Amino acid sequence: MQSANIQFGEARQKNVSGALSASARISLTQTGSAKIAARVPGRIASIDVQLGQKVKKGQVLAYLESPELGKTRAEFLAAATKARVADANYRREKELVAKGVSAERDMREAESTFAGAQAEMNAAEAGLHALGLSESDIKALKGDEHYSSRFPARSPIDGTVLEVSATVGQAVEGTTSMFTVGHLAELWALIDVFEAQLPLVTVGQVVELTVGAVPGVFFQGRVGYIGDIVDEKTRTISVRVVVPNPDAKLKPGMFASARLLTGDEADAGPAVLTVVVPRESVQKVGKENVVFVPVGDNQFKPIDVKLGSSSAEEVEITDGLKGGERVVTQGAFILKSELSKESMGEGH
């Protein structure tokens, strides 16, 4: 005991109000990112953008050579030609019937042929749309087009090329992902808030964020969404913060420290009673967070706890410990080491 310098204290009850501190994860917004797939089986002929390049909606990122596309285009052109001929024949028969030169039966046969040809052309056009061609692309088709199997992969949004997973000459399927494009001017900060802290969070609330990669800089956003479901395992609720990022200093995937502010921090608003212990009291044993409590002379027991927000000195305990309970405040790491050796027997 003396060598380990084990010391005790009590889990404190503390009123937490006003600003709420929590960890956050920076991510792309739901509508601000896009995975661009090949959409047609084939081979990548060229890549027309570079990693980090800004692109516009509809801009070509790469071209693919696709025999399937060439076949579908040829079917459409043949069907379109057949439909034009059938249409002209039907119109001519109508004029001849009106002049009494031709029989009405011949006109009905021409009408039926035209309707069938029109249906074939519509089906072929639907096949081109399914492969990603726009109306303007289809109208530009010509029977003698040399690059009839060439297919453009376009960006569906304005943004920055964040990932290039394709190489020239690579064989791809229709579902093969080639690029990721993201809109970095606005990002999300995702925060998990414990249910006991929910009274401190409202939509529109101002949130200050700091990241280790940009020390001394405060980023500000607002709560855009509060989740409707409590995670049964962690007892947390997802909170989404919309953060403007005009200079692109924030990067998706970064971890941030978030501080949710009340309208007037001097008037802290509703208080929440919580239990806190020194950071050193909490140890990681396997996948669980534990604190050690004395259960007899020179005997200790690890108690599983759920953690909330934290500061440089203290950690909030949301489940597993009550205010006033005695805990090990110094030397907990030594006890963890002894526990791992199984030298205390039966968890003591």
Q: Which of 18-22, 193-197, 291-295 has the lowest mean pLDDT?
A: 18-22
What is the DSSP pairing of strand 288-296 with strand 283-285?
Answer: antiparallel
| Mean pLDDT, residues 261-271 | 51
Question: For 80-119, what is each residue's pLDDT tens digit?
Answer: 889 989 999 988 888 888 888 778 888 888 889 989 999 9
Q: Are 339 and 331 in contact (CB under 8 A)?
A: no
Tokens of 274: 């919580």
Residues 6 or more apart whose Cβ sits within 8 Å of residue 112: none
Span 7-16, average pLDDT: 80
User: For 123-130, what is the mean pLDDT?
Assistant: 84
pTM: 0.57
Instruction: Kindly indicate the confidence band of residue 77, based on its pLDDT and cuts at 50, 70 and 90.
Output: confident
pLDDT at 51: 93
Q: What percent of the chain stands above pLDDT 70?
A: 89
Mean pLDDT of 264-275: 55
Token pair in block for residue 239: 């909170």
pLDDT above 80 (res 312): no
Q: Span 62-76, mean pLDDT? A: 85
State how far the alpha carbon of 107 is from the alpha carbons of 84, 94, 117, 118, 252, in Å: 16, 6, 15, 16, 65
Task: Provide the pLDDT for residue 43.
Answer: 93
* Distances, alpha carbon 113 to alpha carbons 75, 117, 122, in Å: 18, 6, 14
**SS3 label, residue 73:** helix
DSSP element (H, E) containing 9: strand 7-10
pLDDT at 267: 43
Question: Nearest to residue 256, comparing CAs of 289, 224, 208?
Answer: 208
Q: Is the dihedral of CA 297, 303, 305, 311 positive or negative?
A: positive
Q: What is the DSSP letter of 261?
A: P
Contact present, 193 and 201 (Cβ < 8 Å):
yes
Tell me the per-residue pLDDT of 286-303, one tens digit each, with 9 for 90 and over: 888 999 999 888 889 999
